[in-house]
Amino acid sequence: MLDTGTVRLHVQRLGPRDGQQPTGTVVLVHGLLTDSLASYYFTVAPALAAAGLDVVMYDLRGHGRSERPSEGYTVDHHVDDLEALLDRLQVGGPVHLVGNSFGGTVAFGFAARHPERAASLTLIESEPATAAWAVKLGGILERVVTELAYNESDALAWISAHRGHNTARLAKGAARLARETALGRDIPASRVLTADQIASVRCPVLGVYGGDSDLADLAPWLEAALPDCRTVVLPGHEHSVLVEAAPAVGEHLLALVRAAGAAGAGVR
């Protein structure tokens, strides 16, 4: 557990075996509500560590084993947490940021605030915080709060019958988070980025999307909005592409990290 000064965060760290010196640091940021650092721990994190990287993953405030304050869930609050976490861990150099879903929005916000601290950025089924994003998240969270927080028993019964008991267990935790915190209000009210702020992210950016996901339509816009960006669309997958296609996601992610690391070494 790591105390940032405002919230206690659950952190896990993996590194190279046999005492090897890491070739870089990768920070993995997960998504909202039912997600936690476990979605990385059981997918791409071990392969990244085996490739010689220092891997940092943590539960967002309110999620997993991290502390659950009643307020403070805007994107900027989460960026503040990430900044404080890296400072407490004394990770001073540029890091490779990876964000899944809402985690990518947080990672992008960090890269926009601290471009000098971002060696690369990978967005998995994710996008920057824009006005359109805020409207979309507001609608999603309103449904979650209504269906989970206020009609919990019916919602959990349906989820259990159609998605399984484990998903229902995760949804029960999400219902508590939605009911007991300001998350549902705070996230849609987050400060959004301007086109210039988005374009200011100049590190190499990779976007990974499921071919059957609505977010796949963002790929051309993201490439046009950023100075150094490529996108990959994996056919046959939806929003859960990180879990469903972990080897492919990990391969693309590691290729970006290696290329960005080589370019950084060349500059130095």
Domain range enclosing 113: 2-128+193-267
Which uninterrupted H or E stretch holds 12?
A: strand 11-14
pLDDT value of residue 169: 64
Pairing mode, if any, of strands 118-124 and 229-234?
A: unpaired
Gyration radius of the chain's alpha carbons: 18
On whether both 15 and 25 belong to a single domain, the answer is yes
Q: Which of 124, 121, 126, 101 is nearest to 110 (CA)?
A: 121
What is the C-alpha to C-alpha distance for residues 139 and 135, in angstroms, rounded to an integer? 6
Last residue of a domain, one of 173, 189, 205: 189
On whether both 14 and 26 belong to a single domain, the answer is yes
Q: What one-letter code names the amino acid at 225?
A: A
pLDDT value of residue 175: 78
- For residue 228, how many other CB atoms are within 10 A of its CB? 15
On whether both 63 and 26 belong to a single domain, the answer is yes
Last residue of a domain, one of 151, 173, 189: 189
Length of the chain measured in residues: 268
Q: Which of 30, 32, 49 is nearest to 40 (CA)?
A: 30
On whether both 142 and 212 belong to a single domain, the answer is no
What is the C-alpha to C-alpha distance for residues 157 and 147, in angstroms, rounded to an integer? 12
On whether both 14 and 118 belong to a single domain, the answer is yes
How many structural domains does the chain have?
2
Positions in the chain whose pLDDT score sits under 70: 147-173, 263-268
Q: What one-letter code names the amino acid at 84?
A: A
Cβ pair 30, 103 in contact under 8 A: yes
On whether both 153 and 113 belong to a single domain, the answer is no
Q: Which of 84, 65, 61 is nearest to 10 (CA)?
A: 65
On whether both 104 and 29 belong to a single domain, the answer is yes
On whether both 97 and 134 belong to a single domain, the answer is no
On whether both 145 and 91 belong to a single domain, the answer is no
- The tokens 């996901």 sit on which residue? 213
Cβ pair 55, 15 in contact under 8 A: yes
pLDDT value of residue 238: 92
Cβ pair 26, 55 in contact under 8 A: yes
On whether both 106 and 162 belong to a single domain, the answer is no
Per-residue tokens: 64? 């997993």
pLDDT value of residue 163: 60
